[in-house]
């Protein structure tokens, strides 16, 4: 499965289903939150490492290709590394989004743009432009390793990172999970109890008795 096929499938899924399909996928720290709501992020990681200086972010913005996501390790800095103009340029170039383990600003304007932006914090104080750092290297973002070329998938629940191989294995399982959840949702919408579709009593009894068991849906 190539990235184009994976992207098409991911566009119909959510991060919760994919995480359920493989709980070992890398999940960014929950402190990194979307600036906008209702947007889904799917792209290929273009990594950046810098500290309170956004010169290297400009370098990455210049080099990044359509469909890539700028994934920025701000190294704990407090100064904004991205604002409205960088977001507009990323949108113009056809990038898939921006993730900042650090600060951004101009959020009121970013919220009007159809490019998903995630950040750990917000600050009006911009970084400097006098130091050169690295791009396209393995970085730590949100507490997990992100490699250039990794697939990044985000929605309002958070952000997952996976290799194409990991994604290819997890996607069919995630599709099945989401399909089951849709059936359950429709049945509950008609008044059916969630507990009637779970093996809860059996599972609970076995857990209490120290037996091996798993909670599952009965459809």
The CATH number of whichever domain residue 129 belongs to comes to 3.50.30.40
Residue at 213 is within a domain: no
Whole-number pLDDT of residue 1:
84
pTM exceeding 0.85 = yes
**Does one domain contain both 91 and 107?**
yes
Rounded Cα distance between 6 and 58, Å, is 29
Residue at 217 is within a domain: no
For the chain, the domain total comes to: 2
**Does one domain contain both 31 and 86?**
yes
**Does one domain contain both 184 and 113?**
no
**Does one domain contain both 74 and 122?**
yes
**Does one domain contain both 86 and 178?**
no
**Does one domain contain both 157 and 176?**
no
User: Which residue has 């720290």 as its token pair?
Assistant: 29
Q: Where in the sequence is the domain holding 188, given as residue range(s)?
A: 169-208
Residue at 219 is within a domain: no
Sites in the chain below the pLDDT cut of 70: none
**Does one domain contain both 85 and 145?**
yes
Residue at 218 is within a domain: no
**Does one domain contain both 40 and 137?**
yes
Residue at 200 is within a domain: yes
**Residue ending a domain, choose from 127, 148, 163:** 163
**Does one domain contain both 154 and 180?**
no
**Does one domain contain both 142 and 181?**
no
Calculate the alpha carbon distances from 19 to 59, 158, 167, 219 in Å: 33, 10, 11, 22
Residue at 198 is within a domain: yes
Residue at 215 is within a domain: no
Whole-number pLDDT of residue 4:
92
Whole-number pLDDT of residue 108:
97
**Does one domain contain both 104 and 177?**
no
Whole-number pLDDT of residue 192:
96
Please count the CA atoms within 13 angstroms of the CA of 33 that sit on its side-chain side. 8
**Does one domain contain both 156 and 133?**
yes
Q: What is the pLDDT of residues 104-149, one digit of tens each?
A: 999 999 999 999 999 999 999 999 999 999 999 999 999 999 999 9
Calculate the alpha carbon distances from 190 to 39, 187, 193, 194, 217 in Å: 29, 5, 9, 11, 17
Residue at 199 is within a domain: yes
């Amino acid at each position: 499965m190539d990235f184009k096929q994976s992207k098409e499938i991911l566009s119909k899924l959510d991060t919760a289903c994919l995480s359920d399909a493989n709980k070992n996928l890398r999940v960014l720290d929950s402190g990194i939150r979307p600036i906008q709501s209702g947007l889904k992020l799917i792209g290929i990681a273009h990594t950046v490492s810098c500290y309170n200086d956004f010169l290297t972010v400009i370098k990455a913005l210049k080099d990044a290709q359509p469909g890539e996501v700028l994934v920025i390790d701000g190294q704990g800095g407090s100064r904004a590394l991205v604002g409205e103009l960088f977001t507009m340029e990323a949108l113009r170039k056809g990038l898939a989004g921006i993730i900042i383990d650090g600060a951004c600003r101009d959020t009121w304007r970013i919220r009007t743009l159809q490019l998903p932006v995630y950040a750990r914090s917000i600050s009006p104080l911009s970084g400097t432009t006098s130091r050169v750092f690295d791009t396209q290297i393995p970085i730590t973002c949100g507490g997990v390793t992100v490699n250039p070329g990794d697939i990044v998938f985000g929605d309002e629940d958070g952000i997952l990172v996976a290799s194409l191989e990991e994604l290819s294995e997890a996607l069919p399982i995630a599709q099945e999970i989401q399909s089951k959840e849709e059936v359950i949702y429709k049945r509950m919408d008609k008044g059916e109890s969630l507990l009637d579709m779970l093996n809860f009593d059996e599972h609970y009894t076995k857990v209490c008795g120290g037996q091996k068991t798993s909670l599952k849906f009965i459809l």
